[in-house]
Structure 1
């Protein structure tokens, strides 16, 4: 190749829709020295056999926004490039065939309204008018989103590729990448069959090939290949080009029109993994053998929904492998193991719907070093070391695939690949009736069954099966004391001559305090957004102990490590070395004093080394439940000893075990924020009501300070607030729409029940592009849209519960 480059600013690997979209957007951002390399021909991996449905609604506002961007792009792409895309905005229908599904659909409609989408609830007859071929005998109702649609995957990809070339990017087909070059911890280029290309950034969008190639440079991308089949029919009388896409989750099927016939497929509960020993060499523009026996499980339900299918001719049963992930979300972002390597893969058969937005987000990430907005649900840093096991990933991914169309219950737990990571107290807690959940591979007690109760989750959109058990634990925490096993906390040691100054730059709060101090702080990005929310204990002049949430282990470690840069500092993950027992409640000090000879009067926000039951313990005076208490951090080998001593010492004071679902109800009453839902990179401490935790008055500079200073001076366009409803039959779970004087002003980021106040509680941001003032928050008629019903609500700007004043607000 005479024009083959030897240098590039960015190399994109993979010529499917994600790679071409990323190259298109990089070039549009001015990174015209972008090269895309495709091992064979564009779309030859999995894009060419995608079904092409484009839906927008997800449980995250930002992922919904990302998918909405795809729709906007596909609308205008043909006019820009002159190449057809097959894009049709023919709308999308979602059906409900039973009461529980109808509740889910109504809540999805509310979520759509919260995020600015115009989703309509329809009667069965109204749905049939939009889709005349379907039987509606079993329908309870349906939801219709007019802006959904469908596209031709290969045509859209070719159009994106042309747009990328028009903007200056170069694309080379039949150019497999044989090696990613890394020297001194930095990307140096890629090796291909046609020669080396030097570059500092590589974007890996190689679909189901991504995991193997990333692994060659020590990067883990948790995805596996799964067979996915759909059928293409001959022409069917009555099928028109304007027929909406149709999703029938109770029958596990989806449908779309194609040249007068139907494309329909489904997500079976018993999916078939593919390429468990590696993808065959030269697998290009290939399909797998059709498996009619496996596909037959859909047929009876499909014919019952669309009777015309029984006599329709079958063109083809397409069986193509797709890459799927353990949680059903795709994977974006810069790899935590390798600076300069970005990933866009694992699209779970909705890569066409995601392609435009994912390419935009990934391109901005590459160009600026940060995502354009909070993309935590798809951020590669949501994974951890447990996901390095391909067999673990495959087992969990097959479960996630099988649940694609099952009801997504609030707080639902996955069951596969468990147990894997266990606290030393696992057996004790199981014997005590623990019902465990799982996060990042850790088994964590969610709640404890009482006498005669089975420790098994019973899910509901109303009051779930664990409601009474959690209430018991909640009241014990408020009135006596409880023990939480929080061993799964992510825990880091930061040591070195430069750590105090550097950590004080990264942290918005002042951590450069006396040895023995404990600081609750956020870590901000340059825009003032909250990247981390954690506690920092100073153990020595040159040593700090950092504690953060279980699920944020990879993310927070990566954020801190990147911001340490060339500092003389060492960051070590000690999560597995230390167990954590949190003793909380008004009687906590009395109980602890019986097995600890040390003075226990240290104030809140301190860290002390104690001897508890003759064992060494680092005691942090901090709480996430709003009661007197300690997090007791200790070597794992003494955890059982300390736990047994605590339970014996507190037996007469009503001390009991409690789980994570009680933590949630307790923190709601105290208005403690949760990173990933209530706060994140799109929220500043000013907006979140956490300005008090920053060292603004100290004169000490920190990352993000300028951005939050501007907000303090100029005001903000959103404010964190709490909401309650009086109706005992209304349950808040999050994403309910916030209404002020009948107008949509935001949505709930989290919700649950406060057992002390006796009400459902929700948190969210009140938004107004012209600014949110105190007057706006303290006046007006407030309501929440819950499952498409308008429920009167009260707004709260302070915690509902204050143990010091014994204040409980209704």
Structure 2
């Protein structure tokens, strides 16, 4: 019957979920259940020991098992509480789309697509069909967003082309095109049959020695000395070295089955699509259609279409618990909630209205607080890995996730930078069940328009500074980072939504531009206060030298400095890349105060604890909430503080890059550092939280004569980008080293062994293949042009050479400034190592362009070197002449 007639049929007379499952599963799966069962061991063979135990037999868990076996690790056991694919894999739609918001994610899904092509070519029958995809934009803003995705595709080597309505009609005649602005066509995208893919992973892993078990429940994960020790199951205990939580919908519950509990922040929501019978004009090779502004997608399905989407406000389910034996089950139909998607489906493909309906599918999917995946080793238990929260993209990601998690286990780290998906990005608050229920209503909307700086509306106003109420009254407009509300800028006329950072989005000049420019000049010419309470703060201490020994081993700079010295240092991985970028102060011989970026709170603490001596000789405390932070920045900062403290603030008595414990007003015990993280003179005060309001009020009252004003993080971003300061988490990643970003002076190779020393020594001897560069855009109109926000491609002599990591308008230079790494590649896209990469970058014949909003802007490259000594509050950068 047609869709319209189908909607009039009573629910109890429509095709049942079980009936649909049987039809759906038969059409998805070419290998029958009897054949699959031959690959499984009986339960009496449950081993007593395995190197790796994987919990979850969906497409993610089976991929990890397959990739471990591919690397030669076959002492692996995979446990599934029900039947393989019984969670969400069986009702997944199998879209393989490679467009992503960042290069590492695109590289990961590109590998998946390549793997699926090779599996199909090898005769494994996973239903791979390379039909391409058409990604539609109905508005100019959406075109801008697609241009950003196109830049990522270019950087990743994924073929993608912008096409217009006529070309769309040629590729997909069944579509209505009169309201389309443009589309991005990706020829190498496609579709697979998810159940066949998972069955293939299972079969190939079994062939390589992996043991597979259905009907086995994980009851408890046991630990010893902070690491995984064994897995207790419904059929006995398996001793193991590694555990991988791939439980899908059940992953959060599985996280509770250990002591300490592992935080896996995800929540299930309803997720909808319809499947039709034959639709006139639908070709078997119809490209996958994604109409982002309509929030919908289509794929061809046996002559008909499968059409669904991501509604703007989702419906959470299973808030208390997931029903027992929820295997191969669907949720009740909800046409009212689906209506907003149905309207868009009928608009884009009118022929669907008269098509016969096979089924309305409402299958639960789990989503994370930010819509990104949850991957990596947990903060709570060593060798406990998680691969969950795939947010309805588990099939497209399964190949790459399987490879990366397998490599993470075997090599100790993934081969690509996965910080956007690392489980360590969360703090315990994110796992709060009530928070998750509210946030996933919003985070399901992956097709929503994503403007630069866009803020979440749900789950706000929870982690706040002691100054929050006072700053809000002063007109602060907040943005959330790691669940912490931070003042981004101040406005005298901000409404309630703007104060939450919720405002009309734009890719051009933001509404806060003039406010931030005024704050910038206050920092440059007078004095401002910036609330930096959200910065992560730690205390590392010991009775003897153990704390110093630990920090020396973790840091590339020399931590053995006089008491009160502020030491900027990276903490490198084995490849020399940044695992942390922090400031460390020796407060006594065996007590150290450490500051790290807001977004790295869990990661920083985990890295410290991971390398701590097992004998308990080093104590690490997270003091983030114990101290607020006030950045007193500007030429009048010294005199202002001199008016409110008994400590001498002169340059002679309080040198740059030093720390003293001072009083301000009536309050004492304030840790003051002479630095600002922005290149201007000033101080950062770490104030015991109970004194925060008193210290703030004291400074504001005394500062009236100096023209004091509040400033936010946007002003500090302008200052640091203009001064060419790289920030960890924005510019620096686990792939970037100090030599590549101009921080050679912070590496002390002669101090003794530390993590990453060998890699850095090799770079110093052999050279590097990339360098951090500042670009000034020429002929850029801040009023009319689309602004760069990060991720834009950089071209050298017409050849792609890197991407922008961060950007800002610089009022002093009166230019739009972009920061980013420039790399040199050969004809096969292999990196070229230069003994003197500065010469390559600043070659007099080299020309640079940055592509912003589809427009190429000529750019002046500025490469900087640093003085070897800490002679000012921050490193001094000196231009290298052309």
Instruction: State the TM-score bracket (shorter-chain normalisation).
Output: over 0.9
Matched, 1:278 2:285: no
Change (3 A) 1:628 1:426: same
| Alignment-derived partner of residue 524 in structure 2 | 478
Tell me if structure 1 keeps the 8 A contact 2:53–2:78: yes
Matched, 1:210 2:251: yes
| Alignment-derived partner of residue 774 in structure 1 | 838
1-structure distance, mates of 2:250, 2:751: 51
- Write out aligned runs for 1:593-632 (5 A): 593-601=642-650, 602-616=654-668, 617-632=670-685
Offset of residue 247 of structure 1:
0.7
Tell me if structure 2 keeps the 8 A contact 1:731–1:753: no
- Write out aligned runs for 1:76-95 (5 A): 76-80=118-122, 82-95=123-136
- Write out aligned runs for 1:100-119 (5 A): 100-119=141-160
2:273 to 215, 218, 230: 230
**Per-residue displacement from partner, 1:599-649 (whole Å, max 9, x unpaired)?**
113111111011111212110112211100111011111111110111111
2-structure distance, mates of 1:684, 1:204: 31
**Per-residue displacement from partner, 1:660-717 (whole Å, max 9, x unpaired)?**
1111111101111121231121111111211111112x34322111111110110111
Offset of residue 459 of structure 1:
2.4
**Per-residue displacement from partner, 1:210-262 (whole Å, max 9, x unpaired)?**
10111121111000000101010111121112111111111110111111111
Secondary structure of 1:9's counterpart equals strand
2-structure distance, mates of 1:806, 1:253: 49
Offset of residue 799 of structure 1:
8.8
Secondary structure of 1:581's counterpart equals strand
2-structure distance, mates of 1:163, 1:78: 13
| Alignment-derived partner of residue 613 in structure 2 | 565
Secondary structure of 2:270's counterpart equals strand
1:349 to 379, 392, 395: 392
Number of aligned residues: 806
- Write out aligned runs for 1:199-598 (5 A): 199-217=240-258, 218-402=261-445, 404-450=446-492, 455=499, 457-496=503-542, 497=544, 498-566=546-614, 568-598=617-647
| Alignment-derived partner of residue 189 in structure 1 | 230
| Alignment-derived partner of residue 760 in structure 1 | 816
| Alignment-derived partner of residue 671 in structure 1 | 724
Offset of residue 282 of structure 1:
0.7
Tell me if structure 1 keeps the 8 A contact 2:489–2:512: yes
Tell me if structure 2 keeps the 8 A contact 1:110–1:787: no
Secondary structure of 1:637's counterpart equals helix
| Alignment-derived partner of residue 77 in structure 2 | 35
2-structure distance, mates of 1:155, 1:418: 42
Gaps of 5+ in 2: 1-42, 825-830, 867-871
2:789 to 714, 733, 750: 733
Tell me if structure 1 keeps the 8 A contact 2:656–2:873: no
Secondary structure of 1:225's counterpart equals strand
2:804 to 748, 768, 776: 748
**Per-residue displacement from partner, 1:119-159 (whole Å, max 9, x unpaired)?**
11111111121111111111111111111111111011111
Tell me if structure 2 keeps the 8 A contact 1:459–1:465: no
Secondary structure of 2:293's counterpart equals helix
Gaps of 5+ in 1: none
| Alignment-derived partner of residue 754 in structure 2 | 702
1-structure distance, mates of 2:329, 2:786: 51
1-structure distance, mates of 2:751, 2:371: 45
Offset of residue 100 of structure 1:
1.5
Secondary structure of 2:625's counterpart equals helix
2:709 to 636, 642, 656: 656
| Alignment-derived partner of residue 791 in structure 1 | 857
Change (3 A) 1:166 1:433: same
Q: TM-score, normalised by structure 1?
A: 0.97
**Per-residue displacement from partner, 1:68-103 (whole Å, max 9, x unpaired)?**
1101111112344x4311111211111111221122
Offset of residue 192 of structure 1:
2.1
Tell me if structure 2 keeps the 8 A contact 1:422–1:442: yes
2-structure distance, mates of 1:298, 1:514: 64
Q: TM-score, normalised by structure 2?
A: 0.89
Tell me if structure 1 keeps the 8 A contact 2:226–2:382: yes
| Alignment-derived partner of residue 47 in structure 2 | 5
Offset of residue 730 of structure 1:
4.9
| Alignment-derived partner of residue 693 in structure 1 | 746
1-structure distance, mates of 2:120, 2:157: 26
Change (3 A) 1:807 1:765: closer
2-structure distance, mates of 1:564, 1:808: 41
- Write out aligned runs for 1:38-187 (5 A): 38-80=80-122, 82-187=123-228
1-structure distance, mates of 2:138, 2:153: 20
Offset of residue 397 of structure 1:
1.9
Offset of residue 809 of structure 1:
12
Tell me if structure 2 keeps the 8 A contact 1:328–1:400: yes
Secondary structure of 2:644's counterpart equals coil
Change (3 A) 1:406 1:69: same
Secondary structure of 1:274's counterpart equals coil
Secondary structure of 1:200's counterpart equals strand
Change (3 A) 1:637 1:353: same
Change (3 A) 1:652 1:418: same
Tell me if structure 2 keeps the 8 A contact 1:450–1:469: no
**Per-residue displacement from partner, 1:390-412 (whole Å, max 9, x unpaired)?**
1112212221113x222110111
Comparing 234-243 with 348-357, greater Cα deviation is found at 234-243
Offset of residue 806 of structure 1:
12
2-structure distance, mates of 1:809, 1:710: 24
Change (3 A) 1:451 1:390: closer
Secondary structure of 1:277's counterpart equals coil
| Alignment-derived partner of residue 29 in structure 2 | none
Tell me if structure 1 keeps the 8 A contact 2:126–2:200: yes
1-structure distance, mates of 2:873, 2:156: 36
**Per-residue displacement from partner, 1:339-367 (whole Å, max 9, x unpaired)?**
12110000000001110000111111111
What is the RMSD of the two structures over their aligned residues, measured on CA atoms?
1.9
Offset of residue 775 of structure 1:
2.3
Change (3 A) 1:111 1:321: same
Comparing 1-10 with 436-445, greater Cα deviation is found at 1-10
Offset of residue 16 of structure 1:
0.2
1-structure distance, mates of 2:119, 2:155: 28
Secondary structure of 2:611's counterpart equals helix
Tell me if structure 1 keeps the 8 A contact 2:507–2:786: no
